[in-house]
Amino acid sequence: MAEQTDSIQRVALITGASGGIGRAIAERLSADGMAIAVHFSGNRDRAEEVVSTIAAAGGKAILVSGDVADDAAMTTAFDAVEHAFGGIDVVVHTAGQMILKPLVDFNLDVLDKMVRTNVRGTFVVDQLAARRVRDGGAIINFSSSVVKIALPNYAAYAATKGAVDAITLILAKELRGRDITVNAVAPGPTATPLFLTGKDDATIEHLGRMAPLERLGQPDDIADVVAFLAGPGRWVNGQVIYANGGVI
């Protein structure tokens, strides 16, 4: 990889970068030469580990924080990134909640909280990204393959991710003429703490065998897709990319 100077180094903000997929994306985009803003909401220690790992590998990274659904907090986060690095080229929005239960039993207060984080949070982050990302940049949201494969217990979560799909596809068209791509990545079953928590071994084995490749995805599998969209994939725009090993 050619060495980059500060004047041309691209800058990426990754929300939820203390989590499994978010961390893999932060480390991968840093390895690709970008300066990284590691966003977290609740777990500062894990986020600091990501920054330290990137720095130890010779990269540049800062911490930013805030509730993704709070426009004032996220405005402050975007301001901090621009102050530190001079601008923003890529926004990857991985932050979200996944709460599973049959629709008939789902607590509506819990539903409201998940909608706030997953739907309003995407809207807030995308609104700021659309205003701040420099021409030639990329906005990458996170959906889920469960929108398409419709597993039981996922009604509430899938509904929020269906909203993410709609926001993504429409924003791509609204940014006509800006040379900014807007896409969503929709992982399938992926071995992260968010996915594995609360599932027994038999369930995990079953979900892992859903893909023709007969394994769970790994965070690095998803980071590879994001790296393409954030870098050379300039002709992919207004798409939901199902990164799930072939699950249908």
Known catalytic residues are: 157
Sequence-distant (≥ 6) Cβ neighbours of residue 108 within 8 angstroms: none
Q: Which residues of 106-208 form beta strands (DSSP E)?
A: 133-142, 181-187
Torsion of CA 132, 119, 165, 182, to 10 degrees: 10
**In 96-135, alpha helices (H):** 108-115, 121-132
d(CA 12, CA 218): 21
Give me the DSSP letters along 70-102.
-HHHHHHHHHHHHHHHS-EEEEEE---------
Distance of CA 5 to the CA centre of its chain: 27
Cβ atoms < 10 Å from Cβ of 224: 14
Question: Are the CB atoms for 46 and 53 separated by under 8 Å?
Answer: no
Closest by CA to 117, choosing from 162, 67, 170, is 67
d(CA 147, CA 36): 30
Closest by CA to 225, choosing from 75, 38, 24, is 24
